[in-house]
Chains A and B, each alone.
Chain A
Amino acid sequence: MKQNIIKRLLQAVFVLLGVALLIFIMLRIVPGNPIATMMGEHADPATIERMTAEFGLDQPAIVQFARYLSGAVRGDFGTSYSLGRPVAALMRQAFGNTLKLAFLAALFAWILGITCGIIAAVKKNGLLDRLFMGLSLLGVSMPVFMVAMLLQYVFAFHLHWLPISGVDGLKSFILPAIALGWNSAGSVSRLVRSTLIEILQEDYIDTARAKGNRQMGVLLRHALRNAMLPVVTMMAIQISSLLSGAVITETIFSINGIGQLAVQAINGRDIPLLQGTALFSTAIVIIGNLLADCLYSVLDPRIRKEA
């Protein structure tokens, strides 16, 4: 067990290194001096040269990478070209918002998805099943921006129930979180339903019923834990897609988060900022996967043994 975790940790560190390298290479193979590109055609050549030196861009690539890496380990991601502030400080501010948004979205998606999935599986082919599965189809097929704009249009613009955009207390996160979680809720509920229906056919469910368990007991003590195994895997994948979706949601609802920073960085051709945000989101995904792995091995004793 312990060995397994250490192995996974090392793997995660390796992946993170690979990611850092990949980001670095991708951002550097763009031809031309990024400072010059950013400052436009009419910039003073002397200023460009000064700034190039200032950001260390005149050094060989390997030195740049080493500096960047050692900085990142210490929490220093360099200075943003376009905003002139340390990337770490910019991200610290944005991270709280993204975390709040993603956390609320995950909470919404998973609680709603799992509940609806269970109800649909238990009442298979019933009215609620059809309703939930219809809704979940809308969930998996509606693009994030569509959900976001619809919610914004109906609940903020027309009904004035919630703020249209910006960050002003927790209530300004409600619509973005629903928009962001909508997709995930759909796929989780479909997965929970299909897994649970399959598991309710398993022999050990008969055993549980033969022991005198009522339906609730069968469900809670025997079916759910088994059904959660693939769901945990899916949740791990969804951390990644939630962060992807956060880019869109944050843009639509003008939330100052990591995603919006990334978009800003691209539009401003701001390499340190882009590097920082990409590395940071990837780190979250990798840590999330690590946690999901641990949770999985807690839930499934068969994995524990194989370690």
Chain B
Amino acid sequence: MFGKKKKLMAAGEDVRLKSQIGEAETFWDLMRRLAKENKLAVFSAVVILLFILAAIFAPFLTPYSYKDMDLLNRLSPPSGAHLLGTDEGGRDILTRMLYGSRVSLMIGVLPTLLGMILGAALGIIAGVIGGKTDAIIMRIADITLGFPSMLLAMLIMYTLGGGLMNVVLTLSLVNWASVSRIVRSEAIRLKQNEYVEAARAIGVKKRVILWRHILPNCLPTLIVLFTLNVPSSILTESSLSFLGLGIQVPDASWGLMVNMGRQFLYIAPWLSLVPSAAIMLVVLAFNFLGDGLRDVLDPHQKNQ
């Protein structure tokens, strides 16, 4: 770190550096800098916003129902009436896409959040308390991470059965372990920081140190992790639904739509391609935003 600073100095930018040292940047300053320096992140934020709006206003954006069949209009290609065509049950694909975005949004955010809360709590506890508690939590994390995530998800889905809420629960249980590992190492790193030692030296209680010092300092890492874990949740859900283990018909999920469309891949490729492309776009947007956030919030985590 110091090496880099020295290099900057040598680059004749010391003056600029000095003017920056004066005041710490607030969260909004950072966001403004992100918006200014990283156009891709801004674009991604817009895509994500559109995606959220689509999910919220789905019923107002389309005259069709997402589950009522219209057998006279099966597998019709994209047209004026059905912008993205219809599926094997004659349902409007655009409509199903809009409703599917609700599922994807929920699947992207909810389990990531739950897994993150669980993982962060356990990770901080493990890192701060250490000893046996640490060992036990980390071994459980090891066991969870020993599974290929898809297989773990499949096993849990087998136990719980399909359906939206079970998918949410499953993904939370798949997500927590890697979060807890990262947060634990972050907590250990912070614990060794001088200001924490100083706080301990003047007799501040462990619990207070945890809340006042460790947790707030883990926040940037958590925000970045959250943005980067959302797409992986979306991808896992779509894979589960693709295998028929996740969301069940007649509910709409993008992964499920890809799966249903697969039988018609050679006569109506748009059935699978449209939802696939949507998944890709949203995942891409979250990845861009996550990378951008990481660059401004959490530079030392770059290689994780």
Contacts and interface: CB of A to CB of B under 8 A. Distances in A.
Contacts of A23: 155
A230 B238 CA distance: 29
Contacts of A11: 142
Nearest to A28: B159
A131 interface: no
Interface stretch (B194-202, B216-224, B272-280): B272-280
A198 interface: yes
A145 to B, nearest CB: 5
A27 B155 contact: yes
> Which of A29, A149, A230 has most B Cβ within 10 Å?
A149
**A interface secondary structure, majority:** helix
B149 A146 contact: no
Interface stretch (B17-25, B85-93, B125-133, B262-270): B262-270
B48 interface: no
Contact of B287 (A140, A203, A266): A140
Interface in A122-168: 137-138, 140-146, 149, 152-153, 157
Given A137-B287, A248-B150, 11 more contacts: A15-B139, A143-B276, A145-B255, A149-B272, A191-B303, A244-B150, A247-B148, A247-B239, A266-B157, A266-B245, A282-B147
Contacts of B80: none
Interface in A227-247: 230, 240-241, 243-245, 247
B197 to A, nearest CB: 23
Contact of A153 (B155, B243, B265, B277): B265
Contact of A15 (B143, B269, B273): B143
A285 B149 CA distance: 11
Contacts of B280: 138, 141-143, 146
Given A19-B143, A143-B280, A248-B243, A27 B150 contact: no
A251 B151 contact: no
A146 B273 CA distance: 7
Given A240-B148, A245-B150, A149 B265 contact: yes
A269 B303 CA distance: 41
B146 A15 contact: yes
Given A18-B143, A26-B159, A263-B243, A282 B302 contact: no
Interface in B182-238: 231, 235, 238
A178 interface: no
Given A27-B155, A30-B159, A251-B243, A146 B143 contact: no
A194 interface: yes
B243 A274 contact: no
Contacts of A18: 139-140, 142-143, 146
Q: State the majority secondary structure of interface residues on B.
A: helix
A180 B28 CA distance: 40
B239 A144 contact: yes
5 contacts: A15-B142, A145-B238, A198-B302, A278-B155, A285-B146
B284 A141 contact: yes
Interface string A260-296: 0011001101000010011001100110000000000
Q: Chain B, interface size: which category? A: 35 or more
B154 interface: yes
B303 A195 contact: yes
B242 interface: yes
From B148, B154, B262, B279, name the one whose CB has the most chain A CB atoms within 10 angstroms.
B148
Contacts of B3: 202-203
A111 interface: no
B276 A230 contact: no
B280 to A, nearest CB: 5
Given A15-B142, A149-B262, A244 B151 contact: yes
Contact of A194 (B156, B269, B303): B303
Interface in A6-60: 11, 14-16, 18-19, 22-23, 26-27, 29-30
A201 interface: yes
Given A141-B280, A244-B151, A248-B242, A286 B303 contact: no
Nearest to B147: A282
Nearest to A17: B143
A145 B258 contact: yes
Contacts of B145: 240
